[in-house]
Amino acid sequence: MHNNFSALCLTTLLLAQSSMVFGRDTDDIPDALPKAAVLAPLAERALFTDSVTKGNRGYAAVGERGHILISTDGQQWQQAQVPVQALLTSVYFTDADYGWAVGHDATILHTQDGGSSWQLQQFLPKMDKPLMDVYFFNRQHGLAIGAYGMFYTTDNGGASRVLDSFHLSLVSEDDQEYLAELAETDPEAYLLERESVLPHFNRLMVQDEQILMVGEAGFVAISEDAGQSWQRLEPFYNGSLFDIHRTQQGTLQFAGLRGNMFRSDDNGESWQDISLPVSATLSSIIEDSSGQLYLTGNAGTLLHSADDGLSFRDLSQADGRAILNGLPLANTLLLVTKAALN
């Protein structure tokens, strides 16, 4: 079990670069030009939202004001060159060199040098909507999801094609009927209504070509073909779900609003409501190489399970600052939070 915890706090200065929206220069969009992230000497003490491994060569973390930090050992961090100041919510690397980060203003960033510098592939501040998660199957094929049912895909790494996708099967049955009628009677209104009938999409979990996606109002959907088609599952909980994880033992774990945690050992056929010692909203589920599970969340929530999620003990931090994510490093658990933990 991990007995050491460290908190991530970092800084970032970035140079302005030309930005792209769906592969087009933004010079013709007057108020869409982003400002580069600023180097901050105490960037490590900023708010960070996500951290990942970069293949077999180091780590990356993303957070507020466009801050992206990279590290070879998880101890010493460097700020990357980032052309935008949007709050970044998620980062993913397919290997040590190729990575993507997403965030507010539907921002999509890409790196080909292990995170040292980043290029802007999409920036849509007029939408005022955040992307919440990103995943790439390889260097070319990936997807990003977010608020109000935002769903983007690319088959060329986002270099020139970031496609805005809509899957009717992700809409509730009642709204599917409504949209079908509207598509026949008022195509223009149909396009507008599509943007209001989907819930927020919060997190993806990918295993081979199977994808599970969770969101608000108990939303859970599954794809068995790498996101080409989807099936919306019957809700087992009415609140928002913020993370999903399949453990080394094969059980599914879901974390959500107000300390709600669910576990399934039959691949989602039935669900067990797990009793937790806290009621704070949960943000992430972390598993280390030995199968130890950790839950993080608001109010300094940090919970540990040694029995595959059947029970948890409270290791919550006294400073009460939200812990948004984390990463197991050797005998240390790196916590992505707003300030150093005691």
The pLDDT tens digits of the residues spanning 273-303 come to 999 999 999 999 999 999 999 999 999 999 9
Long-range CB contacts (within 8 A, 24+) of 316-322: 316/278, 317/5, 317/341, 317/342, 318/342, 322/283, 322/297, 322/298
Task: Say if 182 falls within a structural domain.
Answer: no
Residues 38 and 132 in one domain: yes
Quick one: average pLDDT of 103-116? 96
pLDDT band at 318 (very low <50, low <70, confident <90, very high): confident
Q: Are residues 249 and 295 in the same domain?
A: yes
Q: Is 314 exposed, middle or buried (0-12, 13-18, 19+ CB in 10 A)?
A: exposed
Dist. CA 154–CA 164, nearest whole Å: 9
Q: Tell me, yes or no, whether 338 lies in a domain.
A: no
At residue 44, does pLDDT exceed 90? no
Number of domains in the chain: 2
Is residue 119 situated within a structural domain? Answer: yes
Shared domain check, 240 and 154? no
Q: 157 and 208: one domain?
A: no
Is 212 a domain residue? yes
User: 17 lies in a domain?
Assistant: yes
On whether both 157 and 240 belong to a single domain, the answer is: no
Rounded mean pLDDT of the chain? 87
> 205 with 117, same domain?
no
At residue 174 the predicted structure's pLDDT band, cuts being 50, 70 and 90, is confident
Q: d(Cα 309, Cα 181) in Å, to the nearest integer?
A: 45
Q: Which residue, 165, 191, 209, sits at the end of a domain?
A: 165
Residue 225 counted as domain residue: yes
**Is residue 37 a part of any domain in this protein?**
yes
**pLDDT reported for residue 8:** 52
Q: Is the pLDDT of residue 25 over 80?
A: no
Q: How many helices (H) and strands (E) does the chain have?
A: 2, 29
Which one has a higher pLDDT value, 70 or 332?
70
- CATH number of the domain at 236, please: 2.120.10.30
For 250-275, the pLDDT digits (tens) are 999 999 999 999 999 998 889 999 99
Residues 37 and 85 occupy one common structural domain: yes
Q: What's the pLDDT score for residue 18?
A: 28
Domain that holds residue 14: 1-165
